[in-house]
Structure 1
Amino acid sequence: MLQLSDFQSAVLTSIFATLLVIWAMWPTKKWDPRGQFCYVTGGSSGLGLAVAKALTNKGAHVTIVARNEERLAKALAELEELRQNPNQVIRSYSYSLTDADSSKAALEVASKDHSGKHPDAVFMCAGAATPGFFVEEDANSMRKGMDNSYWIQAYTALAYTKAIVRDKTSGKLVFISSLLGYMSMLGYSTYSPGKYALRGLAETLRSELILYDCTVHIMFPGNIDTPGYAEENRTKPKVALEVDSSDKPTAPDVLATQLIYGVQRGDFHISPDMLSNIFRSSTIGATPHHNVLLDGLYAVAGWIGLPLWRQGVDSKVLKHRNEHEEYLAAKGFFKTVL
């Protein structure tokens, strides 16, 4: 009987593993945005605007929704400059998306531009963070935090799901979570819980919406170089700024390209860089793998590196203990009657 040497076996094993990696990474069917009706929330600035621009540039019909009418008008003008053909439908609407009825109304108004047809894909980029210490929060700020991190996307997802199921049409739901939907740290007590909740919602809908031929995707970006990030840093505690300083913000257009590529590939979790892939693979649960072998390597890297990273973060936080106590005293916190 023919027997292989150890070297030959190792070579064949390597070849097989390489082919497996290539096969696992190769998309079976690539989604094409051209001619598709794409609905983008938070589309007046930041990541939402970058996604809207990228989709417009690919020939999609694009509707953006946000609250600020002035920024919407400017964004719409920018989209018009990227128009690929005269038949593209490019629109903007001003609605508050932290309200269920308003979120539904925005979707219905946008659909009227397409003879009542609901979007082929919904990109939910709206959201905001207001970092601070948990001990300074109150019931109102905690509710607002969930509004701006969870409900602002969940209400749109609910309205869209009901619409396509009633219409018996397929669709795509694209959530934007955050790296803080995989882990969290000081300063994000009103933001990170909503981003974790989005993951839970997306995990549920990925399973449920198989019934209706609707795919679900969720992205976990780190810091994004946007006006919102600059505003966030204005209220961010000093210690949180120090801890966060190692995560350099990424340009919105870079993330928009990665997001659309992930949707085209059919990825469920879209992790735009090595760090987010390490967190994804270390907390994967029942989430579908991108690539079994690579995810295994990322998980090993996380098993070794993340405890060291966490230890470093905790050390930075503890160095601010005395300074933090002085800050609370200056604010009169210790005189507060609970």
Structure 2
Amino acid sequence: MDLDLKNKVAVVTGGSVGIGLAVAEGLAREGAHIVMVARDKDRLESAARQLAETHGVRCLPISADVATGEGVESVVRQIDEAFGGADILINNAGTGSNETIMEAPDDKWQFYWELHVMAAVRLARGLVPGMKTRGGGAIIHNASICAAQPLWYEPIYNVTKAALMMFSKTLATEVIKDNIRVNCVNPGLILTPDWVKTAKQLTSESGGDWEGYLQSVADEHAPIKRFGSPEELANFFVFLCSDKASYSVGSSYFVDGGMLKTL
């Protein structure tokens, strides 16, 4: 299926590893030029080179912290200088948390608010005007199943991802008049490097069967009885970015192997 994304300019935050990298690869495979944003400069530049060489597209690596206003300003400025704006924005930058509400300090709440919510707000303010000038675009927010079905050990993650889902809905209403479609994706268990790292840490003193641990997590939470791959999830993102999803506006899609227990 030709998704008609050739020569579009796509911005992917958290784009050097895991889900972000898989989404960037999926879009590049369709012929889109990629702006990869991440903090780890070396890993970012290596991933960008490989992506450009493999798919024959332009790939601009931008090392920046999108959890800060200064970081977002730098990203927007470099996109304007290199491409004159963007057609697609994937707000993917984020990370899990681990705390209790009673013990988590204010600064931890603020950090996740800036990373999960304000980064998306600021990037929208910076890139939507250019999208409007270019005739429209697509913005996809990577939230989480935890936005609707929280896990007890990461309340800050749950709350900020729920806020991101509501921001996505609200932004969609505001910018659809400019032919900019906004949607949200709520993944379930996706086998990212972070999951593997955590599993290895948790099993290091009990035999090291990290794969068995991950299988037990999948057995407990996902009726499909396995983790999804970043590539499986990326396929859905890429589709939502295309005109084949032209009537998808302001929606939240759960890609979770059946993990969500509510309607």
Q: How do 1:247-262 and structure 2 match up within 5 A?
A: 247=222, 248-262=226-240
Tell me, in whole angstroms, the C-alpha distance in 2 between the residues paired with 1:134 and 1:230.
26
Amino acid at match of 2:29: N
Q: State which of 80, 86, 101 in structure 2 corresponds to 1:111.
A: 80
Question: Is contact 1:41-1:65 (8 Å) kept?
Answer: yes
Question: Is contact 1:224-1:250 (8 Å) kept?
Answer: yes
* Number of residues of Structure 1 aligned to a counterpart in Structure 2: 240
Amino acid at match of 1:159: G
Unaligned runs of 5+ in 2: 203-213
TM-score if structure 1 supplies the norm length?
0.64
- Gap change, CA 1:99 and 1:278, over 3 Å in 2: same
- Percent identity over the alignment is 22
Amino acid at match of 2:63: S
- Shift of the alpha carbon at 1:224? 1.9
| Residue aligned with 1:134, SS | coil
Say what the alpha-carbon RMSD is for the aligned residues: 2.5
- Gap change, CA 1:168 and 1:253, over 3 Å in 2: closer
Question: Is contact 1:172-1:214 (8 Å) kept?
Answer: yes
- Gap change, CA 1:176 and 1:92, over 3 Å in 2: same
Question: Is contact 1:98-1:151 (8 Å) kept?
Answer: yes
Matched, 1:275 2:248: no
| Residue aligned with 1:135, SS | coil
1:47-69 deviations in whole A, cap 9, x for unaligned?
A: 11001111111111111011100
Higher normalized helix content (fraction of residues): 1
- Gap change, CA 1:95 and 1:208, over 3 Å in 2: same
Unaligned runs of 5+ in 1: 1-29, 236-240, 283-338
* Structure number with larger C-alpha Rg: 1
- Name segments (4+ residues, structure 1) moved above 6 Å: 241-244
Tell me, in whole angstroms, the C-alpha distance in 1 between the residues paired with 2:87 and 2:37.
16
1:53-109 deviations in whole A, cap 9, x for unaligned?
A: 11111111111011100110221132023224xxx3211110110012321221220
Tell me, in whole angstroms, the C-alpha distance in 2 between the residues paired with 1:231 and 1:274.
22
Matched, 1:59 2:31: yes
Higher normalized strand content (fraction of residues): 2
Tell me, in whole angstroms, the C-alpha distance in 1 between the residues paired with 2:235 and 2:141.
15
Question: Is contact 1:131-1:232 (8 Å) kept?
Answer: no
Matched, 1:99 2:74: no
- Shift of the alpha carbon at 1:31? 4.9
